[in-house]
Amino acid sequence: MAGRSHASKRKRQLALGVFFAGFVLPELQKRRIFRSEYGGRTLRDHLGLHRPANRHLRITADVLS
């Protein structure tokens, strides 16, 4: 019985996700509350965060000589 209730719950969650993606998000995008395009290619770009220096790639005078 536990398997059935879990599967049933999963189907309801999936249906809610499909409804949200199909009806709610487009309406929010139409009202310009939820964006439909992003400015960059990465999550860091989307959040407006700067790219930190690579701490694993340190070029020192020892390596160059």
At 17 the pLDDT is: 92
**Rama region for 48: left / alpha / beta (φ>0; ψ in -120 to 50; rest):** left
At 60 the pLDDT is: 63
Q: Which domain holds residue 39?
A: 2-64
Give Cα 32 to chain centroid, integer Å. Answer: 19
What does each of the 65 residues of the chain score in pLDDT, given as a tens digit?
555 688 899 999 999 999 999 999 999 999 999 888 877 888 888 888 988 888 888 666 555 55
At 54 the pLDDT is: 84
At 63 the pLDDT is: 59
Measured distance CA(34)–CA(56) in Å, rounded: 37
Domains contained in the chain, number? 1
At 64 the pLDDT is: 58
